Each structure stands twice: as C-alpha cells, then as structure tokens.
Structure 1
Amino acid sequence: MTRIVRRLRAVAALPLLVGACSASAVFADEAATTTSTTSTSAADDVAPSTLERDVHLFVIQKDGSVEEHDDSTLRANTTSGVDDIAQRYVWFNKDIEHVDLLKAETIDRDGVAHPVGSEAIRDVQEPRSAGAPTFEDGVLRTVIFPGVEPGARVHLVFRKTRTKPLQAGAFAYLVEPTRGPVELQQLIFDLPDDLPLYADARGYTALPPVTANGRTRYTFEYRHGTYAPIEAGAVGYATWGDRLMVSTVPDFATFAAQYRSAAADPTANDPTVTSLAQSLTAGLTEPADKARVLYDWMRFNIRYVALFLGETAAVPHKVVDILRNRYGDCKDHVALYGALLAAVGIRSEAALLNLGPFYTLPAVPGYGASAINHVIVWIPELHLFADTTAGGIAFGTLPTGVMDRPVLLDGDGTLARTPAVQPRGRTTRLQIDVDASGTGTFAYRVEDSGAPAELERNVFRRATHRQAQQIAADRLRQTGLHGTAHVSTSDVAATRGPFATTLQGTLEHFTWPDGTTALPALTSFAGGLATQVQAWLAEPERTQPWVCIGGDFDETAEIALPDTLRVTDLPTDTAVRDGFFDYASHYVFDPATHVLQITRRLTAQFGHQVCTPDQFAQMRGTLQRIERDALSQVVVKAGRM
C-alpha cells in the first residue's frame, strides 16, 4: 500500500484489480449535479498547490506480490501550498515491504534541481500504533524537501516492493482525490493476462487494456481543476464524488470467504477463553444478557489500537495473544469477542464495513479509507450489531460512524445494512432565579437517553474531578453566559440506561437592574435543541448529500424575576410540523409570582442518516422558523408591574 500524504490517498488492502464496471452510487443524481458544479465553478482564488504529474505503475504477480514504481511532481502555488508539499510521506509495512527512494529533489522557480540530502530522509513509527508492539510494522518514510517556496516543485520517485501479499493471491487498491488540482494522474496496473482486474471508476478514465507477452496493462487517468468546497455536514466526498477502486477479487462473496478463511483461529477454543466467558456470565440465562456482559468486559478491558482494517495484513492476531496483551485493532476485537460469545453458546459473524463519513461501498471489493476499513460483530440470534472498539457506546446501540451503511457478513458473503436510526433523546430542565442586582442562580439538569446517554456517561467516566468541572465551565461559556458552574452526574459506573448531568452555579449580569434587558429565552445550554437546529442550518443551501440524524428534545425553563422588573415583550407561541419535524413552543409569564415559563419540544425524524440537497430545500423553511423561535428573547424593563 502506498499513501502519499496530501496528494494521493491510496489504500491497498489485498493484492490487485481488474475489468471495467461502473458503480451506481446511492446519490447518483446529486453526484452528477455536484460534479458539474465543481468542474464549472469559476474559483478566482489560486489553489495552494497543484499535482502536475503523478504516475503509479503496479506490477502484480499471481500470488499477490507487487512491485510499485511511483513518480510524482507537485507545485507550490502559494505560501500555504509550501506547507502542502514540503514534507511528504511514504507508508509501508516494514515486515513485508521494502522502499527505495530513487530520486527526491526540489526544483526551484528557475528549473534548478536541489537534491534532498540523506539527513532529511528518515523513518518514523506510524503514530496510531500507540506503542503496541504487535502493530509496529507500519512505518512512514518522511522526506523533507529543501528550499521550497511559491513556484517551486518537489519531485519524488520511489520503488516499493511487497514480497509477501497482505492476503494471498489477491490485490486491491483505492484512490481518492485529495481535492487539489490535478493536471495528470496515471495509474497503471500490470497483471498476468489470466488474472483479471475489476474496477469501479468514477471520474477516472479507463484506457483500453493492452495485452502483450502474457500480461495485461490497465491504465486509468485523472485530471481535475479546482474543486467546489465541501459543505458543512456533508457526507464523505467519495460517497458521491470521484473515486477509483480496483481489485482482483471478483465479488463480495469471494472477498468475505477470504477474510473468513484467514481469520480461522484454533486458539479461539482455548480453555482460558472459555473459562473467562463462563465466569463472566455465571448465573445468566438469557443470550442477550450474556452478550451484553461480555461486550462490556471487552470495551473496558481490551484497549483499541486504531489502525484501519487493511492497512496491515487482514488477519486477526491469535485470540490467546489478544487476551494476554489486552489490546487489539478492530479485527482483533471481533476475534476475541466472537470467541467469548462462542464459549457461552452464542454464534456471531464478522461484519465488514466502512467506518467514517462514507455511506456506500465501491462496486468491487477491497480495503480503503472510503471502502472496507472496519469490522464489527453481527449476532444473528439477537438481530443486532456490536462494536466493542467503541468504548463509549452501550450494548445494543452503535456509534454514528457505523450506522446506516452496507456491511459484508463473512458467514455467507451477503451484503446487509446496519440500522438507519436508533433512539436518541434529550430532556432538559432549567431554573434561574434572578435577584434585584441582576445576578442569577441556576440549576440545569440534562438527561440523555438512547445512543447519546453512554457517550455522555463515558465523557465523565474518564474525566477527573477537575476536568469534569472544566467541562461545566465550558458548557456555560459556550452558551454565551458568564458565571460559575459546578457539575454532578448520575452513576458513571452504569453501562446502560439514561444518564443525567446537573449543573449549578451563578450567572453574572443576567439582567440589568436599570434600563431594558433582552434576555435569551433559554430552555437549554449549548448542545441542546437550538444548537442542533443551527447545525442542520450550517449551510444556506446544499448541493451535496449531508448527514441528518434525528432525535427527540423536551426542554423546559423557569426564570424567576425580581419584582423590580417587568416583562414588556414575550415571544409568541410557535407550532411547526412537516414531513421531518414536529415542533412546539409555549411562553407564559405569571405576574403574581414573577415567573416566566418556557417549553419547547422537537421531534426530528429522517428515517436514515443521509439527506439529499432536495430534502434540505424542503425542510429549510421549517428549520429557519424553529431557529428563530429557539433563539428568541424576552424583553424586561426596570420598574414594578
């Protein structure tokens, strides 16, 4: 696998690719619209850097071994472009690959070449290995170019030889644009002519294959000018934009079978594994309870080393070694959790998918940043997925990053899908008592339920007392208020169910004792209903698919004012309902008690995690009405009623 940072993001998981089939994207219409906008938009700003020429030749053998020749030239157009190109990295697996730098030089604006000295080339450990010895095979060869300035170019040529395939007899490669201008990129795959290459090329032009001397060359070319900006909240570009995936594996069923075969491990039945599983589940009879207890033990006791699937050999470590070391990557988590489940009579399968903002898979199988890069567990008899690498997610729920996307089950090689939605709720109760000086004392209780509950619990579970109090101060400050805040929580040792936090403190100058004050009609601090609506409205218009996650909000506030103030203006009750939202607010001021009561309730239902630009256009008016109400103010004036 080669990954040249900033210009070419490539992920080679298995050995290589073939043929020509075009993938159909879930958002094909939106992709076409966006691509057109991208290619025709007249951006007057100069791109910081440009990929002038980038040629990658892969010579692949039937056993999956590969020799790769890379020759690339990048130009810095601006000062910020110097940072883009002046330091480049070549990723390799030191256990099975060897890299030879054939040329590394800076070419100044006058065309004079300045070679990179040996002192500016060094190997550094892949930082995500986190010091775990069994993951120290990933290395970054760092090349620091001298004298780079606007108008200069950097030229890097290297050869990388992989003598042992990541997966025997297979090869795959993923290329995604890094969204800088490309004058010419060429990817050439040279294979034995009886080893076909399958490709999903979107935005990349496939040239006619050339066969000679028992081998066939497949060439793909790519050119692109300035890209349109990625919109706030948009799904990953490769979901709908340009991408090339090639593979010698013909279909997903074959890919799953290869993973399953490689993951077979006789140590999964080791007595230490069986004994642990049975002791943890002693006294439990229901499979769901057993699976939950084992899940919780995994997420709290097996440290997750965050290397994506396919960056190293797609073979889990031995279960007994994972258990002994108490750490592992995603495939190791699946191997050990699966073995523990099996020890108490619960069958499970590996489910391969993409972890991240990408909601489709390429039409041909392979590993990569926007392809398969993660694996979780599927428990058929419970009809649920489980991801033990997500330490802050309760059993029965999933991290947002693996929701609503295709998964490949290794049991029978079929494509399934993770749940599109799961329960999410937040209830807030805010009380503020304001004295005659304008200082307020407050109590603010938030109860999260469903998927967010364990995330919030995990934040405080891992925080020291001082850190927890800093979180409280930050949440007050992010709301735009000044004062003091102290936090207390419900039981952080629990592993499921709702989770509550309570903030108490003071507010400085919440009202002015004389003159007129416009009070924010708060029902929650930062992170509540108003924050969520503003996030959905982060763009005035959308041309790209975007992430839309629904939920239920129930917010109530009581603000007690001194009798030295009178309310002169109160927001009007609002009720809004459409195909996505059901919202209502109510305001009432009791002059006898000087108490203002505000309630807001919002239910957002999208039915999935990805919305289209057309859907945003349909809901924008409703969202703007909700936002205006959620940010409304109450006007008070000095003087008795």
Structure 2
Amino acid sequence: MARWRTGCRAGGFVLALRAIALSAAVSCASAMARASQDAPSTIESDLHRFVVQRDGTVEEYDDTTLRANTPTGVDAIAQHYVWFDKDTEKLTIVTAESIDPGGVRHPVGPEAIRDVQEPRASGAPTFEDGVLRTIIFPGVEPGWRIHVVFHKVRGKPIEPGAFSYFVAPTREPVESQQLVFDLPSDMPLHADARGYVGEPPVTDGARTRYAFDYRHGPYAATEPGAVGYAQNGDRLMVTTDADFAAFAERYRAGAADASAADPAIAALAHALTDAQPDPVSKARAIYDWMRTNIRYVALFVGETAARPHRVIDVLRNRYGDCKDHVALFGALLAAAGIRSEPALLGLGPVYTLPSVPGYGASAINHVIVWMPELQTFADTTAGGIAFGYLPPGVMDRPALLVDEARMVRTPAVEPRERASRVQIDNDASGAARYAYRVEDSGWTAELERNVFRRATHERVQQIAYERLHNAGLRGSATIVADDVAATSGPFAVSMTGALEHVIWPDGMTGMPAISSLSGGIATQVEQWLAAGVRTQPFVCIGGGFDEAGQIALPSGMRAVFVPNDLELSAGGLHYRSHYVFDPATHIVQITRRLQARFGKQVCSPDEFAAMRPALERVERDALAQVIVAPRLDESSRSR
C-alpha cells in the first residue's frame, strides 16, 4: 500500500498543509494561481470518482473545469475529447458548457457533440470499438473556461475481478484535482503514488473509499532527448492486484486460447520452418513472416479487454494489436517446437515501472515475446527491426515474464555500427563530383533497409536530396540501395552526383571537411548536445561510427588550413580524427572514429555534465572546415 500523506506541490516545493497555519495554505494556493496564468491553460478543478464492483465493472464520474489563459490555451481546450469503448461502455455527457469571464454559461448544443473513430484503429474492424466523443465549445477566448461533467459505465471489465488505473499529469498547472476510488472492502487497493497525496482510507460498511489529491504549478519544460516525465515525475498507479505474480497469472489465464492448436496454425508453421536447419533459423522465419504479413494496430494493451483475440481469427484477419501478435507468434513457435512466453512491459520513453502492477500509458502497456531456449526477446510489431534485435522503445527496462511470473530486464545495449566513405572531386570551375557510401550493421541496418523497402521511387529521391541538404550541400543525386528483400545483415546505400559551388576558384573558401552525410558522427553528437545543460535523465543510445572523407582539389587550388588531429576519451566516449593534405596530389584525407559505449539506454544529468566538454570538442571537429585558396604561382605574383 502507499504511504498516505498530505501536501501541496508548487514549483518543486512540498508544503505540509495540514501541519501549518491556514494563512500559509492560502499563500500557497495564491502563488500557484498567479504562476498558472503564465501557462496556456490551467486545470482549475478536476474530480474523478470510480465506483468499482467485485466483478471488475466500473462506474466513472468526472467533473472538470479548464481555463484558457492564452490563444494557445484556447486551441488546447476548446475541443475536448472523452475516450470510451462503445461495445463495453456507455458514456453520458451530463454537462458541457463554456463559461465567460463574467460567469455566464454557454451550453454546448447536441450539434457540437459527436463521436469519431479512434484513429489508431487504422480501419481494422475488430478494433473499431474505441471512440472519441468530441465536444466543441462555443465562443472560447483567453480567460474563458470549459466545464464538462460525464458519467461512464463499463459493463464488461477489462480484467474480470480486477481493477487498475494509472494517471500522470498532462503538464498543465493543476489548482485542484482529486481521484476517488470506491471499492468493496474485501478488494484492497494497492497504490504507488508520487506527488499524488493519499488521504487515509475510509471504510463504511462493505465498501472502502480511497482518495488522492493533486496540485502543481507550472512544469519545467521537457529537455530534448529526455526520458518521459513519469520516469521521475509525479504519477499514480492503483491496482487490486497484490503483486506482479498475481498480475502475470491473471494475464496468463485470460490469454488461454484453444484455437492456438488449430491445424491451420500448424500447417503454416511447418511451411515456414521445415526447410530451416535449427531453432534460431525457424524462429527467424516465423518472425519475418509475422512482421511482413500481420499488420500492427497500435493500441496499448489494457485500453480495452486485456485478452488477445482468438489466434485463428488474427491469422485470418491478418492484423492485430501487440497481444494478438504475441498470441499468434507464440502459437506458430509452439507448432515449430520452440517454447515462448509473453513479456509485459512499458513501451516508450519511460524506463521504469511503478512498484505495483497495472496497465497505463507509462506503466504496463505493451507485450513482446521471450524465447528462453534461444535467450532472445522479439517484438513482431516492430516491422523495421531484424530478428535478434529489439527497437529502442522496449530496451533496457523491466519486463514481467508471464509464464514464470517473474521480473527480468530487457537487454540494455545491442550492436550498432555505421561506416561511411565520401569522395569529392573538385574541378577548376568550383563545381564537383561526389561519391558516397554508408553501411549500417547491427540493429539500425534493418531499420534503414525498411525505410527503402517501403519508400516509393519518388520518396527515395527525396531521401537523397534531404541527406545532401542536411550536410550543407546542393546538387544532384543518384541513389542505389542494397537488396531490400533481405531481412537481416548489413545494409548499404550509395549516392553519386554533382555538387554546385563547393569552392570558389577566385578566392579563399571554407569547405566542409565532410566524412559523412546526415546520420553520422556530427548528427549523433548534435542530438546529445541539443540541451546545453541537462537537469533530466536523457536517452543515450551508443554505437560505433567509422568515417572517411577524401577531397581532391584542382591543380590551381591549395589547402591553406586543415584541422588538427584530435583524440579524447570521456565516460563511455572515445573519439579520434586525423587530417592530412598531400600537396603533390592536391588531396585532403579525413578519418574520424567515434565509439560510444554507455552500457545502458539512459544517462544522468551528471554524466552529461562530465561528457559535455568532450562532446563539444567532437562537434566542433566533426563540423570543421578545410580552407582552400588559389595557388600562388609566379604568374599570380607578377600580377
């Protein structure tokens, strides 16, 4: 259970309200109100009350008032959405009105309330139960409020006999928010609360009431590349499951499916794997078939019923959400003699889980597959990731193995290498021809291959011009990629073409000392340095980068400056560069090598501060220039 405590959070300070004088409480509230005026919109009041029955059905009562402080805030609140499952829930809008600064209420007419399809369903019929009830408020301007009261009844539980709820701030200032959970007394509520202040539970007869209060002034901006707010910020997870083992057992029981033994499943598994020589090859063949033939419908697990659809139906329909992918993939693996089990985790930029189990946007919201004999995780919803690798969104985080009912952690790192070669031949006019080749290996190789696999001819040409432009170059491009039909191994892309105005033959020119187009060392370091000072943990995915450049000058030009060599190490970084100009051949050679080995996906602000001087030196070196000028021969001196 959570420690039930009270407090007011404003601007990062926690004040124990019930232990100090009333005047201090008023001062806290006044300061928050003043500060919240600077934000685009403010949550003035927000009450959520959940009445949970023993079978897991729920009635929800919501009463919310939002205030627009700026024109941006008007855009944020003047159209309000309430999500519901039309097959299992009944939603009633009790009140919908805008309120002007004089207190006059302007009701929303029925013509301004409509239902729209949840866009993530992507047209898949079995997922069309998710609906957004849209309320369009009249006349909203800065200083106006919107007021919404609704009643939602869930007649079919997400999980029979259980209840869980996750909430994290939406990052608008909150003047007053309360969440109330009313449950049977023999269904104790377990909570992990951070920033949400729990009141002592109150039992009245056969039911117990749990309440959490929340207040917060303006939030600090999210720094570029930072982890999700819920990693270290405020959030609340409540659940009736006592521990993760009980949660795993509930998922396992709900996922049981007799159709997994259907002859069609076995026939497909054998067709895919009979020619494969070993379990790894068999699992890879099934994985590749899954990711190219079963369309992913991106709904988080737990938003609707937490049970997968029947495996045979997923196979027939050729689409499904993550739990459907796991169910079909697991059935095909079993038919091929490979044991697997679901692994529940949080997908996205939050690398932790609350201490109590439950579904939620920054809690458990995704499921992948673990193959114990192969010691391999797999996520078939990630179409651009080769077998044996995971997408970054599920790396280095806790995962609940469903069959074993125990917590493990997904791999923290995986191989990533990138090798690029650039050759630029300048002519006497200042124009140039170039040739470029880049090869990715490791987890990014299939990601790059998938970009070209899915691109039209027109899009491929756009990619070429974008990569030239991002390197500060202008010209033509012919692009050739490796075979996109492959599903594993390194992947290379080559570009050739002409460049305009690389050097100016009648004067001094600063020419980029290029060793890669976009995506190389310069791009990677710029991403890490996107925030000059970091106060929040950030994503630091490492890898190896090997780059070489060659710039050939016309006989009438010389290099008057090439950068100095550089070698440095800091934390998990090691960088080396080397430059040489051969006046006999008029060629500048450039080599750069960066190794970033952090051993994890998330680095701390202190680690960033320690490596920042090195990163800045690497950035400066990676963006360095070669200065060229006309040769000073005898004829030019006489003039």
TM-score w.r.t. the length of structure 1 is 0.94
* Matching residue of 1:540: 532
Q: How far off is 1:21 after superposition? A: 5.1
2:356 equivalent to 1:364: yes
Q: Any idea what SS the aligned residue of 2:510 has?
A: strand
CA distance in 2, matches of 1:277, 1:584: 49
CA distance in 2, matches of 1:273, 1:195: 40
Q: How far off is 1:497 after superposition? A: 0.4
2:77 to 78, 85, 88: 85
* Matching residue of 2:19: none
CA distance in 2, matches of 1:400, 1:217: 40
* Matching residue of 2:326: 334
* Matching residue of 1:272: 264
2:312 equivalent to 1:320: yes
CA distance in 2, matches of 1:467, 1:74: 43
Q: How far off is 1:45 after superposition? A: 7.7
* Matching residue of 2:408: 416
Q: How far off is 1:400 after superposition? A: 0.6
Q: Any idea what SS the aligned residue of 1:484 has?
A: coil
Letter in 2 for 1:80: T
2:109 equivalent to 1:127: no
* Matching residue of 2:2: 20
CA distance in 1, matches of 2:36, 2:126: 49
Residues 344-389 of structure 1, C-alpha deviations (whole Å, 9 max, x = no match) = 1100000011110010001111111100110000000000100001
2:224 equivalent to 1:236: no
* Matching residue of 1:435: 427
Change (3 A) 1:44 1:223: closer
CA distance in 1, matches of 2:452, 2:388: 21
Q: How far off is 1:608 after superposition? A: 0.1
Write the mapping of 1:171-190 to structure 2, written as runs, cut at 5 A: 171-190=163-182
* Matching residue of 1:549: 541
Change (3 A) 1:163 1:216: same
Change (3 A) 1:397 1:35: farther
* Matching residue of 1:53: 45
Write the mapping of 1:455-604 to structure 2, written as runs, cut at 5 A: 455-604=447-596
Q: Any idea what SS the aligned residue of 1:412 has?
A: coil
CA distance in 1, matches of 2:74, 2:394: 36
2:625 equivalent to 1:633: yes
Q: Any idea what SS the aligned residue of 2:149 has?
A: strand
Change (3 A) 1:215 1:33: closer
2:391 to 381, 385, 399: 399
CA distance in 1, matches of 2:10, 2:578: 41
* Matching residue of 1:202: 194
Residues 492-529 of structure 1, C-alpha deviations (whole Å, 9 max, x = no match) = 10000000000111110000011110111111111111
- Contact conserved, 1:35 with 1:241, CA < 8 A, in 2? no
2:444 to 445, 452, 468: 452
- Contact conserved, 1:403 with 1:421, CA < 8 A, in 2? yes
- Contact conserved, 2:10 with 2:215, CA < 8 A, in 1? no
Residues 552-611 of structure 1, C-alpha deviations (whole Å, 9 max, x = no match) = 000000110001111111100000113311110000011111010000001001110000
Change (3 A) 1:21 1:327: farther
Residues 326-359 of structure 1, C-alpha deviations (whole Å, 9 max, x = no match) = 1111000000000000001100000011110010
CA distance in 2, matches of 1:228, 1:401: 24
Change (3 A) 1:22 1:250: farther
- Contact conserved, 2:164 with 2:238, CA < 8 A, in 1? yes
Letter in 1 for 2:2: A
2:227 equivalent to 1:245: no
Q: How far off is 1:631 after superposition? A: 1.0
2:54 equivalent to 1:62: yes
- Contact conserved, 1:34 with 1:543, CA < 8 A, in 2? no
Aligned-residue CA RMSD (Å): 1.8
2:65 to 70, 73, 86: 73
CA distance in 2, matches of 1:497, 1:36: 52
Q: How far off is 1:460 after superposition? A: 0.3
- Contact conserved, 1:58 with 1:190, CA < 8 A, in 2? yes
- Contact conserved, 2:37 with 2:69, CA < 8 A, in 1? no
Q: Any idea what SS the aligned residue of 1:381 has?
A: coil
- Contact conserved, 1:22 with 1:363, CA < 8 A, in 2? no
- Contact conserved, 2:194 with 2:236, CA < 8 A, in 1? yes
Q: Any idea what SS the aligned residue of 2:253 has?
A: helix
CA distance in 2, matches of 1:45, 1:628: 41
CA distance in 2, matches of 1:493, 1:529: 28
Letter in 2 for 1:428: S
Unaligned 5+ residue runs, structure 1? 1-18, 24-31
- Contact conserved, 2:35 with 2:217, CA < 8 A, in 1? no
- Contact conserved, 2:36 with 2:218, CA < 8 A, in 1? no
CA distance in 1, matches of 2:276, 2:524: 40
Q: How far off is 1:279 after superposition? A: 1.1
CA distance in 2, matches of 1:250, 1:458: 42
Q: Any idea what SS the aligned residue of 1:187 has?
A: strand
- Contact conserved, 2:571 with 2:607, CA < 8 A, in 1? no
Q: How far off is 1:466 after superposition? A: 1.7
Q: How far off is 1:282 after superposition? A: 1.5
Residues 412-433 of structure 1, C-alpha deviations (whole Å, 9 max, x = no match) = 2101010000000100000000
2:301 to 309, 312, 317: 309
Q: Any idea what SS the aligned residue of 1:493 has?
A: coil
Q: How far off is 1:194 after superposition? A: 1.2
Q: How far off is 1:258 after superposition? A: 0.5
* Matching residue of 2:20: none
* Matching residue of 1:154: 146
TM-score w.r.t. the length of structure 2 is 0.94
Q: How far off is 1:181 after superposition? A: 0.4
Change (3 A) 1:303 1:479: same
Q: Flag as ranges the 4+ runs of structure 1 deviating above 4 A.
A: 32-37, 39-45
CA distance in 1, matches of 2:517, 2:125: 44
Change (3 A) 1:224 1:294: same
Change (3 A) 1:456 1:164: same
Q: How far off is 1:283 after superposition? A: 2.2
- Contact conserved, 1:53 with 1:184, CA < 8 A, in 2? yes
CA distance in 1, matches of 2:541, 2:59: 44
* Matching residue of 1:623: 615
Change (3 A) 1:422 1:486: same
Q: Any idea what SS the aligned residue of 1:487 has?
A: strand
Q: How far off is 1:20 after superposition? A: 1.9
2:202 equivalent to 1:220: no
* Matching residue of 2:382: 390
2:90 equivalent to 1:108: no
Q: What percentage of residue pairs aligned between the two structures are identical?
A: 64
Q: Compare relative contact order (CA 8 Å, sep 6+) and give the higher one, 1 or 2.
A: 1
Count of aligned positions: 614
2:239 equivalent to 1:257: no
